Amino acid sequence: MLTPLLLLTQLAFPQQSCESLAQLKLNRAEITSAAPAANSCIVKLTARPTKDSDIKIEVHLPISNWNGRYRQVGNGGWAGAVPVAAIKAAAEQGYAAAGTDDGHPRGAGDAVWAIGHPEKIIDFGHRAVHLTSVHAKTILAAFYGKPANKNYFVGCSDGGREALQEAQRYPEDFDGIIAGAPAYDWSHHFAGFVWNAQALRKDPRSFIPHEKLPVIQKAALAACDKLDGVDDELVEDPRACKFNPDVLLCKGPDAPTCLTRPQLAALKKIYAGPRNPRTGKLIYPGYPPSTEATGNEWANWILGKPPEPSIQMRFGLSFFGQAVYEDPNWNYLAMEFDSDVAYGDQKAGIHINSNNPDLRSFRANGGKLLMYHGWADGAISAYSSIDYYENVTNFLNRFPDGRAASKAPVHDFFRLFMVPGMGHCAGGVGPNRFGNGNNAPHDPNRNIVAALERWVEEGTAPEKIIAHGAKPDFSRPLCPYPQKVTYNGTGDPNNAASFSCK
């Protein structure tokens, strides 16, 4: 029998040397290099689950300070590169970490790689992320001589979509998942991008100049800012905002302080989101009022500067023009929001979308899911995360025939945190620092990753997370949906202690 001292000594050294991992045999994957760098063993490999697959994966294994956990990091946009910086940062914190390029070497802003390559769509959609988990865990176990104690996935935007794919399709891959601003309804999400581009550019008179965004935001805040009990230029829940944009209509000629009738019509379309013209069903939710001028979110993502496309427009063109119709000359102005959307769902959405509300297997496996979304997000509508949470709730509460499906409340394993004033994944004027990809202290009360680990490993669910803003003296609690942050009526409005979750 090993003495405790001898056991600890053996566990302090890897089961295999870093360089010897290059000889490790994997299923339909090849390790291309394994070498130490700084305090990590860095392993690079290529997975080829099909003849047309070429999935790049990188694994970083801390040599001396492994915390016993595995963390996989997500991508952004169309991916196209291994997220090395995020992998390295996780390894420096003591995690064995890995990530992938999702199966293609192109930039995150286009999908030209998808033309004529249906297997690469599947790799991007979900297969690359799953195989990264499988191969990284095999390499990890060989290096340390044992598997990780717990496995986590952390991603935002496309990484949030990947996170939900894992919970839905591969529920045993991870014990805990963080999905930030998830682009989970990819095909409808990008249809919303085209909708906004049409609203602003089909008629040149409809385009809203950047300098008018502060005018719009000021009017929306005047109508909604005090709904949470404090005048702080933050709207806790824009769904309660009854802002009527008609107040912005120019009473005379066009001026910097008002909107022309075509501009007002475009703004209303952005707020409303696209609907199927035949059925009237909402395809994708619009964007909430009150943050139009915050952090250039609308300026860069939604408006752009004609004739150059906005970021949304580029992504919309890449999805429908390259991934769906495989036609670089596809005309977004002619897109039809019935048949074209349906074809996008069938052609690519079936592999990319992660909108399945059935999380029963993930829950049964003991998994925990934390999702967050900034209300000022100009890329992915914040409404969409609430929609997904509600869809999961409704699905788990009822079978289609009306019988009760589950007595366990959704918040026992899935919690959503909405963040006022925060932009896409980070930034903005609100309480945007809470461990979501930054250097917040690893405190479960202030760091969403630490909160997830405590939930998974100790069974303590996060009742609130204290987030901080750009100002060093600004803090605010984030409350699990459907609770809302409410000012107590007294105290410093810059201090989280002056607010409660109700």
Q: Which residues are catalytic?
A: 157, 377, 424
Per-state percent for the chain, helix, strand, coil, to nearest 5: 40, 15, 45
Three-state SS at 31 = strand
One DSSP character per residue, 475-498 reads: EEEE-BTT--EEE-SSS-TTSGGG
Tell me whether strands 475-478 and 465-468 are parallel, antiparallel or unpaired: antiparallel
d(CA 46, CA 57): 6
One DSSP character per residue, 132-194 reads: HHHHHHHHHHHHHSS--SEEEEEEETHHHHHHHHHHHH-TTS-SEEEEES---SHHHHHHHHH
d(CA 64, CA 122): 37
Tell me whether strands 69-73 and 40-47 are parallel, antiparallel or unpaired: unpaired
- Which segments within 355-474 are labelled E, that is strand? 368-374, 414-419, 465-468
Three-state SS at 437 = coil
481 touches 239 (CB < 8 A): no
81 touches 101 (CB < 8 A): yes
d(CA 393, CA 411): 9
| Residue among 462, 476, 445 nearest 375 (CA) | 476
